Structure 1
Amino acid sequence: MDLDIIHVQHPLSSIYTAEAEPCVLALGFFDGVHLGHQELINLAKRIAKQQDLKLAVMTFFPHPKQIIGNDQTPQTYITPLEQKAKLMQDLGVDTLIVVNFDSAFANLSPSDFIEDYLCGFKCKHAVAGFDFRYGHKGEGNMETLKIEGKRFFEVTEMKKFEIDHEKVSSTKLRVLIAKGRFADIPSYLGSYFESQGTIDSEDNQHVIVTLSEAFLTPPPGVYLIEINTEGNVHEGIAHQIMDGSVQGSWHLHFNDSLHLKGKKIHIKWKSECIKKSKQMKDRRAKTIVKVQAF
């Protein structure tokens, strides 16, 4: 079954609420859809099955910090909406509700958020993490959600999700990506960090990659990568171009010709930084790729 994606903004139109079906609603930003997020959504999924309800997820875009934080620079993401939606579908979510987080929505009181959005989408059981906040200045928390929401729906709070006594969080993943520690990421994300690319042309010497500044990108370094093209896995090496010509440009080096001009590829960043060596010189790049992270 395909995922139903609903984009809404404040004030919420009755067009959306009129078509809403009773649901279990998982709440959060879910950047990365890491193992903690997956545990929360699977918890909501089990409740939905027990209560014979639809499974919905409510998320927000852009990140609240971009609207209410002191730093007004564009927010970067581990998983932009397109990839986030794909992961939600893979987890068995029926409906993804994407709320446009603007200043009007940010000023919504906690009680109005509950009545307008949770009740509006016919939430019968809300599921969120212990640190979930909502409403103006984040005044709403899990305790207020339980108190104010009890007239309308049940509430389940997921406790802190830890691995080796460390909280699994999007912040942790951001730190790992910023340090180029890609080998550690599957322990928290459940998979490798990925970028998406479109192959522009072929070249006998190297692969040129341009990563979008809108999303998280690796720090300068040399990395082991992997791409999957039509069921064929190709391992390669990536390193950043440091000649100052184009910021964010990378070289990808493969042993095989890909012959995939114009097609999109997914790049998995697999290793820690490695030193440039004779291996780098021996690898001949076969494809020029322009990549946009997702």
Structure 2
Amino acid sequence: MDIIHVQHPLSSIYTAEAEPCVLALGFFDGVHLGHQELINLAKWIAIQQDLKLAVMTFFPHPKQIIGNDQTPHTYITPLEQKAKIMQDLGVETLIVVNFDSAFAHLSPSGFIEDYLCGFKCKHAVAGFDFRYGHKGEGNMETLKIEGKRFFKVTEMNKFEIDHEKVSFTMLRNLIADGRFADIPSCLGTYFESQGTLNFKDNQHVLVTLSEAFLTPPPGVYLIEIQNEGNVHEGIGYQTMDRSFQESWHLHFNDSLPLEGKKIHIKWKSGSIKKSKRMTFMRAKSIAKVQAF
């Protein structure tokens, strides 16, 4: 998969090399089941029309630029992980647009002419609530009207499970509540984050979670990691040192020959609020009860 990082104004270097494509549009944080259905729809159209399958996404999150909150945004799937999932879905070209103030002020018609036409979009695919251009003035209706001179447009309807829209907001709320057992029904897999290994001693691993990922709330969790092709289950809980640096303790039933400094953690259980006096043995016994 080719990954193209672009910044406004768009350079002709990129557009000169662009090939006619079906272009899926969206932010795609989480790449949940609704996102996957949209990308698979775009893939089907691309196959039918013998075109390249491309996805256009944006980074950082628009709210970080448009809103007043300058705090770095956290993600369900940071860009690197998002790209890996896109590749697994069969995306051939991933276009990452740097969402800065200049791009935020681009008119809806400018977005169509500069970016969609610039990348030789022949068929655009987006969700019913996709918005674009300055202050989000462009929507799916304007995309169909203004874009019909250049490309076709397919709008995907709301994706629901049990009459509730599947969205990154839903997923962020589930993560914030520690409801990890409910996430696979919306995400297609467990929520995963990345940690930096600080200390390892037999079955005990101490890690600092990447700040790019959403962080689970304090609690005791059933977790899973993969190492050298093997799956290891254990429990994890959060601590804070004297400098108020958050770390996570991970305990496993077997000793792990971990290599390198990075590990990927799948969070499988719900959250159990942990009192300051809760010992590890108490946490472990609770986690075992959850496993049944």
The verdict on how the C-alpha distance between 1:132 and 1:250 changes in structure 2, with shifts beyond 3 A counting, is same
**Equivalent residue of 1:116, what SS?**
helix
1:168 aligns with: 166
* Structural mapping, 1:135-154, within 5 Å: 135-154=133-152
1:221 aligns with: 219
Residues 223, 271 of structure 1: 8 Å contact kept: yes
Structure 2 residue ranges without an equivalent (≥5): 287-292
TM-superposition CA deviations, 1:184-223 (whole Å, max 9, x none): 0001110000012344542247321211333210000000
2:245 aligns with: 247
Residues 32, 84 of structure 1: 8 Å contact kept: yes
Q: Which range is displaced more, 69-78 or 227-236?
A: 69-78
**Equivalent residue of 2:48, what SS?**
helix
Output the CA distance in 2 between the equivalents of 1:40 and 1:179: 27
* Structural mapping, 1:122-201, within 5 Å: 122-201=120-199
The verdict on how the C-alpha distance between 1:205 and 1:48 changes in structure 2, with shifts beyond 3 A counting, is closer
1:82 aligns with: 80
Residues 201, 261 of structure 1: 8 Å contact kept: no
Residues 124, 154 of structure 2: 8 Å contact kept: yes
The residue type equivalent to 1:216 in the other structure is: L
1:105 aligns with: 103
Residues 3, 96 of structure 2: 8 Å contact kept: yes
Residues 199, 261 of structure 1: 8 Å contact kept: no
Residues 54, 93 of structure 2: 8 Å contact kept: yes
The residue type equivalent to 1:113 in the other structure is: F
Output the CA distance in 2 between the equivalents of 1:87 and 1:195: 14
Output the CA distance in 1 between the equivalents of 2:76 and 2:59: 13
Residues 195, 210 of structure 2: 8 Å contact kept: no
Output the CA distance in 1 between the equivalents of 2:49 and 2:259: 49
The residue type equivalent to 1:35 in the other structure is: L
Q: Which range is displaced more, 271-280 or 47-56?
A: 271-280
CA RMSD after TM alignment: 1.8
1:206 aligns with: 204
1:7 aligns with: 5
Residues 123, 153 of structure 1: 8 Å contact kept: yes
Q: Which runs of 4+ in 1 moved over 6 A?
A: none
Residues 32, 188 of structure 2: 8 Å contact kept: yes
The verdict on how the C-alpha distance between 1:4 and 1:278 changes in structure 2, with shifts beyond 3 A counting, is same
TM-superposition CA deviations, 1:96-131 (whole Å, max 9, x none): 000000000000000010000000000000000000
Output the CA distance in 1 between the equivalents of 2:132 and 2:283: 49
2:254 pairs with 1:256: yes
1:24 aligns with: 22
Residues 213, 248 of structure 1: 8 Å contact kept: no
* Structural mapping, 1:23-62, within 5 Å: 23-62=21-60
Q: Which range is displaced more, 145-154 or 236-245?
A: 236-245
1:117 aligns with: 115
The residue type equivalent to 1:140 in the other structure is: G
2:63 aligns with: 65
Output the CA distance in 1 between the equivalents of 2:158 and 2:30: 17
Q: Give the deviation of 1:244 after TM superposition.
A: 4.6
The percent of aligned pairs where both chains have the same amino acid is 86
**Equivalent residue of 2:265, what SS?**
strand
The count of aligned residue pairs is 281
The verdict on how the C-alpha distance between 1:178 and 1:244 changes in structure 2, with shifts beyond 3 A counting, is farther
Output the CA distance in 1 between the equivalents of 2:285 and 2:259: 23
Q: Taking CA–CA contacts closer than 8 Å with sequence separation of 6 or more, which of the two structures ends up with the larger relative contact order?
A: 1
The residue type equivalent to 1:268 in the other structure is: K
Residues 182, 270 of structure 1: 8 Å contact kept: yes
Output the CA distance in 1 between the equivalents of 2:242 and 2:178: 21
Output the CA distance in 2 between the equivalents of 1:201 and 1:66: 34
Name the TM-score, length of structure 2 as normaliser. Answer: 0.92
The residue type equivalent to 1:23 in the other structure is: C
